[in-house]
Amino acid sequence: MDDAAERAERIRLIRDSAAAIVPPGDLKRVRALRFGEPGFDRTVWQEMCALGWVGLRVPEAQGGSGLGMREYCALAEECGRGLLPEPLIPCALAARLLAGGELARLLAGDSIVIPAWQDRANTLAPLGEPALRDGRISGRKVFVPMAAGADAFLVAADTGLALVARNAPGLSLAIERTQDGGHFGRLTLDHTPARPLAGELAEAIEEATLATAAYLLGVMEAAFAMTLGYLKTRQQFGKAIGSFQALAHRAADLKIQVALTRASVEAAALTLDTSEAPAIRRAAVSRAKARASDAAMRVTREAIQMHGGIGYTDEYDAGLYLRKAMVLASLFGSAALHRARYAEEAAEDDDD
* pLDDT band of 174, cuts 50, 70, 90: very high
Identify the pLDDT of residue 206. Answer: 97
In the predicted structure, residue 62 carries a pLDDT above the cut 60: yes
Identify the pLDDT of residue 281. Answer: 97
pLDDT digits (tens, 9 = 90+) for 283-309: 999 999 999 999 999 999 999 999 888
Mean pLDDT score, 198-218 = 96
What are the chain's domains? 3-108 (1.10.540.10), 113-197 (2.40.110.10), 201-351 (1.20.140.10)
> Quick one: which of 104, 99, 203, 98 has its CA closest to 155?
98
